Amino acid sequence: MTNRESLKSVRKKVKKGIIDKDVQKYVGKRLKKVFENKKNRGRFSINLTAEGSAAVGVQVRKSSDLDFSVKILISKTELSGEALKHVFKEDDKDYTHKKETIVSKYVFLEKRYYPKKNRKLKRKRHPPDIPKWYRAVSIGEADAARFPACCNRERDKNWLLPYLLLFDFRQFIQNAISEYNDVSLKRGARGPAVTLTIKLGGRPKISVDITLKLTLSHRTLKIKNFPWPRDDTRNWLTKEKINKVTCKRIILVPKGDKYWKISFANCENEILKDIDTDNTCRKRCLRKMKKKFMLWKTKSTNQI
């Protein structure tokens, strides 16, 4: 199939709200070209991984949204549960994580914004504790030299700060897509992702969320540390499936301003991967549950 034929096929599917492997493959190729830009300088992998409900077959409605993750190429990371002494001067998201009603040029309706100038840090004598399921991440000297605008020096270590990294990542994306007329970058970001919009030669568009991730070694952190599996899990999953899940690496995503959120997405995807091989309908049940949850959420006054 030629590129023109491929685009035509993808356009038809997106118009109908169909997101399948062909659409994912087409978008993946487009994104790979973006990450092959020389300004990447080997910091981010050019091979993106499909994520989200479409990737595991539990999408609940017609959609033109896709999710991808991209690995940050860092040789070694160290985690810490001790709070950093430096905080952002304005609207530090980690410092005010219990108050989700912040409105400023950096945060609005839980979305983070990235003005042209980066935010400044200040030292705080008694910083708040790191939120649960978050970690501070330090990297070595060689890696810090490759990410100079993303690190803060404290306690003789280079701390990789999510907000600074996302600020730098967005600048790279903006520069890399400047040569494409059909790709644009959204200003705000909800959670750890940045969002691109890809036009398909007309009205249909695809919204693509790209999430940076740090992949941890089993020596650093593994799922058994939490602990997992529980007794009920052993009664449900086979020993073979549990082994496959525990072999998956835990990832960190840049959801905080200074701290990284622990994510079990790799493990969850492995569980869902072949959940219906014994001719069951678990994915179908999950889709129905998700649909009900989304319906109930719209009727809730506080969106819970």
- The pTM of this model reads 0.86
Residue 257's alpha-carbon distances to 208, 253, 261, in angstroms, are: 22, 11, 10
Instruction: Report the relative pairing of strands 107-108 and 86-88 from DSSP bridges.
Output: unpaired
Q: Write out pLDDT tens, residues 242-276.
A: 999 999 999 999 998 899 999 999 898 888 888 88
State residue 168's pLDDT score.
Answer: 94
Helix (H) or strand (E) holding 134: strand 134-139
Write out the two tokens for 268: 């969850």
Q: Write out pLDDT tens, residues 274-286.
A: 888 878 888 888 8
Q: Band the pLDDT of 202: cuts 50, 70, 90.
A: low
Q: Band the pLDDT of 47: cuts 50, 70, 90.
A: very high
State residue 205's pLDDT score.
Answer: 87
